[in-house]
Amino acid sequence: MLIVLNYAGVVVFAATGALAASRKQLDLIGFLFFAAITGVGGGTLRDLILGQVPVFWVREPAYIVVCVVTAIVVFFTAHLIEWRYRLLIWLDAVGLAAYSVMGAALGLAASGSPTIAMVTGTLTATCGGVLRDLLAEEPSVLLRPEIYISAALAGAGAFTAAEAAGLPSYASSAAGFGVALALRGGAIQYGWTIPRYRSRPGRNADDALKKR
């Protein structure tokens, strides 16, 4: 289950990296570079922080091959797609959900601490996209008005809570994945937000979520 999630995360994030390269009109090697950076970036940071080195794609080079194939497919098909940015955003949502569970699972296994599991889940899920936007000089997903980091945190939190409740691993993974994807999907489709900082915030995050 975790291996499936990891490959799913790599493929969809690699595709978003390649789509960013297509928006910048780079060459094929540029597509490969952005696909690889985005596909394995979050997981690389996670492995470094947890001290699991060499990082996962050095131990298992198939992940790199997956990024290369994804980049090539996108290079030769992206021009067929009218709604490229929308596709990028939705693939990013799937990758975010997959990686929030993966990151939390590995963080929990390595540290035993639910706090750390939620941090590594959130970091793994968001850092690939952050890196992609930073290097492609695109507006950062971090600063978008709708729910993004929150979805990753909620997914990691749901997984960690389900594990603590003794659910089997596939159920916890499905719970985390579902929560993250539902929140981020709602944010994309319906513009869900939680209250942002203003001079007088006055309300709290839970109220606003219920009101929608």
Instruction: Point out which residues bind its own copies (CB under 8 A).
Output: 21-22, 24-33, 36, 44, 48-51, 53-55, 57-58, 61, 64-65, 75-76, 78-79, 107, 110-111, 113, 115-116, 119, 122, 126, 130, 134-137, 140, 142-143, 147, 149-150, 153, 193-201, 205
**Alpha carbon distance 38, 9 (integer Å):** 10
The distance of closest approach from Cβ of residue 159 to its own copies in the complex, given in angstroms and rounded to an integer, is 17
The distance of closest approach from Cβ of residue 171 to its own copies in the complex, given in angstroms and rounded to an integer, is 25
**Alpha carbon distance 105, 99 (integer Å):** 10
Helical packing angle, 149-164 and 169-190, nearest 10°: 160
Question: In this structure, what is the dihedral angle of CA atoms 54, 123, 35, 190, given to the nearest 10 degrees?
Answer: 160
**Closer residue to its own copies (CB): 74 or 94:** 74
The distance of closest approach from Cβ of residue 168 to its own copies in the complex, given in angstroms and rounded to an integer, is 26
The distance of closest approach from Cβ of residue 101 to its own copies in the complex, given in angstroms and rounded to an integer, is 18
The residue assigned the tokens 């994030």 is: 13
**Alpha carbon distance 190, 104 (integer Å):** 27
**Closer residue to its own copies (CB): 71 or 162:** 71
The distance of closest approach from Cβ of residue 35 to its own copies in the complex, given in angstroms and rounded to an integer, is 12
76-80's contacts with Cβ under 8 Å and 24+ in sequence apart are: 78/18, 78/19, 78/22, 79/22
**Closer residue to its own copies (CB): 168 or 212:** 212
**Closer residue to its own copies (CB): 73 or 171:** 73
The distance of closest approach from Cβ of residue 170 to its own copies in the complex, given in angstroms and rounded to an integer, is 26
78 closest CA partner among 43, 119, 28: 28
**Closer residue to its own copies (CB): 4 or 29:** 29
Question: Which residues, 6+ apart, have CB-to-CB distance to 130 below 8 Å?
Answer: 140, 141, 142
**Closer residue to its own copies (CB): 164 or 168:** 164
